A and B are shown apart, each in its own frame.
Chain A
């Protein structure tokens, strides 16, 4: 089912047709009364969400094995592809939104509009260099030795590894400074609970680094006091105190997510992006 079309011309024609149908559908949707629009969206959302409960939750007498073949199983891959295509559109929406925001900053000479100029220059250079590296790495000349890079490959390497990767790592490295400063300012023992938290944090912190292990490594492995070693205490705290708490939180989060998914699927959600027309 839904085998890929091998004919290139037919493929392109189908792509253009699907884009045209989508545009026409969206145009019609935008021009119908809000009430009807909402109902159409509700029906589409319900049908789109119906697939998974039918495939996974409703027993049909056959075993729910990984490589099962139920009535709706053949649609699993095409739906997966459709979701991947829709997810790719979100990248386009993100880029468009960024461009609109920064273009406004520049045209209205808002404070910091220079940063928006830098954004456009960086984005265009990275876009061009990445495309060139992918599709035309030998644009200006070819590499003469095995380990040699062409100018396009070198430019990509500088932009990606030299600039992007380094900047990304630098921003996260700053956390070390902020966390130290924040811990110093915030960690004050004002109550008994804070004292308990501090003791726990101290044990886990020391248990996470060799210096903590070194401090208590004189306690023999066979000793009954082995549990006083920082790494043992730390592991015990993480596995016996932290874990049940985390499990409780996770349980709450996923039950909440399920409730939220049901509300969105059945169009019961109100407020924010759901109840109003934009």
Chain B
């Protein structure tokens, strides 16, 4: 009798787990994600977790490495501050790799803010690698016109883009003298949180045979895998983990690796909460049956 009472009490207590107040969940998210971010700044040392680059990330890395030195890399920054947390570290680490490999690159974006963010990364890294604007890299800024524009750009870059972000005519930018069309672009790397990849596939890749690699947010990651399998994508970085994998291959610590602990904590919290919710549901059913 007593045992039944105790088990009833335990089951009743457990059943409460299926109705945890959302404010408690919000506070837990805030603490678990916030603590690993703040801790290093107040002198608390946190463990370093292992990171193994996936095949898709390694292919991305190799695609950048294999660009011939007489060709440029087009860095398409189709993201805004909403996905900056994921696309930002990806973009930064890839720009660092491009600079380390000594390749020239062009920044552009089908989103207004992306090219401005990438410009900030490039300016910061340019000091470290001795890159000069106009000679080693340039920025076309925000581009309108979607697929029609990309197609025109592939055909005749100077006819499609007259000036860079600052208003300097392309003819006055030294590195652009030998970059006339898609023939002179060795790789397009796109960073985005939305489904803009088909625009690049239909133009740069399908018509002009330019290699493509993408850094996307975790949420659209699964949608991009078919393009990887067909070879239309030469590499793929998915979410913050993709950025961390790239940093691992570059042997640097950036926004991706630093965010791995908070993200791990967030994922663990979700797993624990889902488990508790199911235990709660199971316990509630048991109580009902009795």
Q: Which residues of A contact B (CB under 8 A)?
A: 66-67, 76-77, 79-81, 83-84, 87-88, 164-166, 168-169, 171-173, 176-177, 179-181, 183-185, 187-189, 198, 202, 205-206, 208-214, 217, 231, 235, 238-239, 242-243, 246-247, 250
Contact = CB atoms under 8 A, between A and B. Distances in A.
Interface of B: 18, 20, 22, 25-26, 28-30, 33, 49-52, 54-55, 80-85, 113, 144-146, 148-149, 151-152, 154-156, 159-160, 181-183, 207-209, 218, 221-223, 225-226, 229, 238-239, 241, 244, 260-261, 263-271, 273-274, 276-278, 281
B159 A77 contact: yes
Nearest to B276: A184
Nearest to A205: B267
Contacts of B22: 181
Contacts of A214: 49-50
A80 B226 contact: no
A166 B80 CA distance: 11
A99 B22 CA distance: 37
Among A83, A84, A210, A243, which residue has the most Cβ atoms of chain B within 10 A?
A210
Contacts of A165: 81, 84, 113
Contacts of A205: 267, 270-271
Nearest to B148: A80
A247 B29 CA distance: 34
Contacts of A239: 225, 229
B82 A76 contact: no
Q: Which 3 A-B pairs have the closest CB atoms?
A: A210-B49, A84-B145, A211-B264
A206 B272 CA distance: 12
Nearest to A84: B145
Contact of A184 (B25, B30, B151): B25
A183 B231 CA distance: 34
A13 B183 CA distance: 38
Contacts of B152: 76-77, 80-81
B273 A183 contact: yes
Contacts of A209: 241, 260, 263-264, 267-268
B207 A84 contact: no
Contact of B144 (A79, A88, A211): A88
Contacts of A83: 145, 148
Given A79-B148, A183-B273, A214-B50, A189 B226 contact: no
A208 B81 contact: no
B81 A166 contact: yes
Q: Specify the main secondary structure of chain A where it touches its partner.
A: helix
Nearest to A168: B81
12 contacts: A67-B183, A168-B81, A176-B266, A177-B30, A181-B22, A181-B26, A188-B281, A209-B263, A231-B52, A243-B226, A243-B229, A246-B222
Contacts, number: 153
Nearest to A85: B145
Given A77-B156, A173-B85, A209-B241, A198 B52 contact: no
A55 to B, nearest CB: 11
A177 B25 contact: yes
Contact of A172 (B83, B273, B281): B83
B126 to A, nearest CB: 15
Contacts of B239: 208
A263 to B, nearest CB: 20
A202 B275 CA distance: 10
Contacts of A169: 81-82, 84-85
A233 to B, nearest CB: 12
Contacts of A172: 81-83, 85
Contacts of A208: 218, 238-239, 241, 263, 267
B151 to A, nearest CB: 7
A213 B50 contact: yes
B58 to A, nearest CB: 12
A165 to B, nearest CB: 4
A183 B265 CA distance: 15
A211 B20 CA distance: 25
A168 B112 CA distance: 13
